[in-house]
Amino acid sequence: MSLAPDIQGVVRIHSSADQFVPAFRDRVGAGLLAGRPHPRSNYRVVEAGPSRVQVRAADWWTAINVGLNEIELRLSEPGSVHYRVRFWRWALYAIGLSGILGLIGVVLLLTVDVRVYLGDQPASRLSSLSIDQNLLVAWAMVFFWGFAWPWLLIALHKSPLRRLVARLISEVDRQAVSG
């Protein structure tokens, strides 16, 4: 399991490259995600050729929406689309937000006398653990949610992103064949 924010794969299609590429460009122009304009679905075709199209999220709202930051589609073989999606802007948002929360947690644990607080407030601790064990749990939670979670989130995000790309390619393929 790679933690890098990118995916790639192949989707079978029925249309030719001459049908699919213009249909995909039209879909991007109409609104990539839903087929109609939406403020968080602002994508631009940055490069296109007879058997290749590259699309990029045009702004941060779009980039952090679902993580389709950069999409490259290649139709090098008849009947299939090879795709690669890079979602670094989405990943940087997740890493940055979690990192800020993690740093706030570290600062609080270092500046607030948590041991005394836990001793004075028994309802604020896990009753089966000692104060030192509760403090260890607090540190573990800060480090997990602040610094480990975004990397796990990146890895977990890949499967839904693959399904989304496959759905978009299939929808455009159906439109290309029928239109």
Q: Are residues 68 and 30 in the same domain?
A: yes
* CATH number, domain containing residue 170: 3.30.530.20
Tens of pLDDT, residues 10-47: 999 999 999 999 999 999 999 999 888 888 889 999 99
Exposure string for 99-138, b = 16+ CB within 10 A, e = fewer: eebbeebeeeeeeeebeeebeeeeeebeeeeeeeebbeeb
Q: Are residues 52 and 75 in the same domain?
A: yes
Q: Residue type at 54?
A: Q
pLDDT of 59 higher than 90: yes
Q: Are residues 79 and 165 in the same domain?
A: yes
- The total number of structural domains in the chain stands at 2
Looking at every residue in the chain, the average pLDDT score rounds to 94
The pLDDT-based confidence of 122 (bands split at 50, 70, 90) is confident
Q: Are residues 83 and 95 in the same domain?
A: no
The pLDDT-based confidence of 124 (bands split at 50, 70, 90) is confident
Say if 133 falls within a structural domain: yes
Q: Are residues 19 and 62 in the same domain?
A: yes
pLDDT at 1: 62
Sheet holding 52-57, edge to edge: 6-12, 80-86, 70-74, 52-57, 43-49
- The domain of 45 spans 6-89+157-178
pLDDT at 40: 85
